[in-house]
């Protein structure tokens, strides 16, 4: 089996789908010859030609709108928004036009589009290149939100996303692109959208995370283990639809939980997850579910990025608060 990092796995998913389905198109700013600023699409234009994989003029709203128009004509666009902070320019087309197409047309049209975007901190990038903006997407009805944490999932989830007839916001953590290699099968396989995964079993507390934070949570779990605490770690993989069943099953076992997110603390994915835990599992809880997240400030300039983002020590601290409640 091939060893791939997450970027190679994402590229391989696009290659598999470009080969399988002539209606799949990959486009965005600089994705063609150079293969994107992170080289996620490198080689695809050479392999599939510049009508299947192409550069667009620099205009995010038009990239989104082009995808919506192409989607109505039987194409399956994979549109890259170069950096997450640029999605604001495309919000209408992504979160209004694509996400509402099925509703507005009473099911007559749909938007089989994947909006790929790199995001995520810890890489000292320029302002508005790394913010975790998934909260905007999860509050938007009609669009799925997928955030992989490893190469195997990234490939399988992206293939699922491309085959999905609804729009998918596919967020790729910058810090995971090259972080490590994984066994990734060649060719075709899928990881279903909407299924979380227990990545570490434990009985004392559940740590719920997604994206890079899964790895930070696993580090924290190792620290906790040294003190005899067995933490269970859940990788959500998908925020919409959210796999609340896996979360509840874990809490029934551990009776305690925290949610870790890179996005600012208030009103984000963690808040939603806790609300759903209250609805479904409150009688299994022996402590409030806490959030480990950055403060409600704008994403900081590079100098204090590391202090601002959740790390293993802060996760351990939050878990201890829950355990000592």
Partner 1 sequence: MSKVSLETPEAKTGGLPHEVRANDVAPLQVLSPEGEVVNPDYMPELSDDQLKEIMYRMVFTRTWDERAINLGRQGRLGFYAPVSGQEATMVGSEYALNKDDFICPGYRDMPQIVWHGLPLYQAFLYSRGHQHGGQIPEGVNVLMPQIIIGAQILHATGIAMGFKLKNEKRVAITYTGDGGSSEGDFYEGLNFAGAFKLPTIYFVQNNGYAITTPFAKQTAAQSIAHKALAAGIRGVQIDGMDVLAVIAAVREAAEIGRNGGGATLIEGLTYRFKPHSMADDTTKYRTKEEEAEWSERDPLVRFGKFLAKKGLWSDEDTARVKEEAKNAVNEHIKKAEQTEKMTVSGLIDSMFEQTPPHLEEQKADFQ
Binding stretches for partner 1 (CB under 8 A):
25, 51, 56-57, 59, 61-62, 64-75, 92-93, 96-97, 102-110, 141-142, 144, 164-166, 194, 240-242, 244-245, 276
Q: Which of residues 206 and 246 has its CB atom nearest to partner 1 in the complex?
A: 246
- Spatial separation of the C-alpha atoms in residues 124 and 15, rounded to whole Å: 30
Catalytic residue among 129, 173, 215, 284: 129
| 129 belongs to the catalytic site | yes
Rounded to 5 degrees, φ, ψ at 73 are: -105, 20
- Spatial separation of the C-alpha atoms in residues 102 and 204, rounded to whole Å: 43
Q: Which of residues 137 and 220 has its CB atom nearest to partner 1 in the complex?
A: 137
Q: Which of residues 276 and 320 has its CB atom nearest to partner 1 in the complex?
A: 276
Cβ neighbours around 179 below 10 Å, total: 17
CB of 305: closest distance to partner 1 in angstroms? 31
Q: Which of residues 107 and 228 has its CB atom nearest to partner 1 in the complex?
A: 107
| Secondary structure (H, E, C), 174-227 | HHHCCCCCEEECCCCCCCCCCCCEEEECCCCEEEEECCHHHHHHHHHHHHHHHC
Strand partners, 238: 146
DSSP state of 243: -
In b/e form, how buried is each residue of 302-317, taking b as 16+ CB within 10 angstroms? Answer: eeebeebbbbbebbbe
- Spatial separation of the C-alpha atoms in residues 243 and 236, rounded to whole Å: 7
CB of 195: closest distance to partner 1 in angstroms? 11
CB of 91: closest distance to partner 1 in angstroms? 11
CB of 135: closest distance to partner 1 in angstroms? 17
Q: Which of residues 42 and 92 has its CB atom nearest to partner 1 in the complex?
A: 92
- Spatial separation of the C-alpha atoms in residues 309 and 61, rounded to whole Å: 30
CB of 27: closest distance to partner 1 in angstroms? 9
**Which residues are catalytic, by number?**
129
């Amino acid at each position: 089996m091939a060893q791939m990092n997450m970027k190679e796995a994402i590229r391989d998913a696009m290659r598999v789908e470009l080969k399988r389905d002539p209606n799949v198109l990959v486009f965005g700013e600089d994705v063609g010859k150079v293969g994107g600023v992170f080289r996620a699409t490198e080689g695809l234009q050479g392999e599939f030609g510049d009508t299947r994989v192409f550069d667009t003029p620099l205009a995010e709203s038009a990239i989104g709108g082009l995808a919506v128009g192409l989607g109505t004509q039987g194409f399956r666009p994979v549109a890259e928004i170069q950096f997450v902070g640029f999605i604001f320019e495309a919000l209408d087309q992504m979160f209004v036009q694509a996400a509402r197409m099925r509703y507005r047309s009473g099911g007559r049209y749909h938007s089989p589009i994947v909006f790929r975007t790199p995001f995520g901190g810890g890489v000292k990038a320029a302002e508005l290149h790394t913010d975790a903006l998934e909260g905007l997407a999860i509050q938007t009805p009609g669009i799925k939100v997928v955030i992989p944490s490893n190469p195997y999932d990234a490939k399988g989830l992206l293939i699922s996303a491309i085959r999905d007839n609804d729009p998918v916001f596919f967020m790729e953590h910058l810090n995971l692109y090259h972080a490590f290699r994984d066994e990734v099968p060649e060719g075709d396989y899928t990881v279903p959208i909407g299924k979380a995964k227990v990545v570490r079993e434990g009985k004392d507390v559940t740590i719920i995370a997604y994206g890079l934070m899964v790895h930070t949570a696993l580090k924290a779990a190792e620290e906790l283990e040294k003190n005899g605490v067995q933490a269970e770690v859940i990788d959500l993989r998908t925020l919409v639809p959210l796999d609340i069943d896996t979360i509840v099953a874990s809490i029934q076992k551990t009776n305690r939980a925290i949610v870790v997110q890179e996005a600012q603390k208030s009103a984000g994915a963690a808040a939603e997850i806790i609300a759903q835990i209250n609805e479904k599992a409150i009688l299994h809880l022996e402590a409030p579910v806490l959030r480990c997240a950055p403060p409600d400030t704008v994403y900081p300039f590079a100098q204090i990025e590391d202090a601002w983002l959740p790390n293993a020590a802060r996760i351990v601290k939050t878990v201890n608060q829950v355990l000592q409640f």
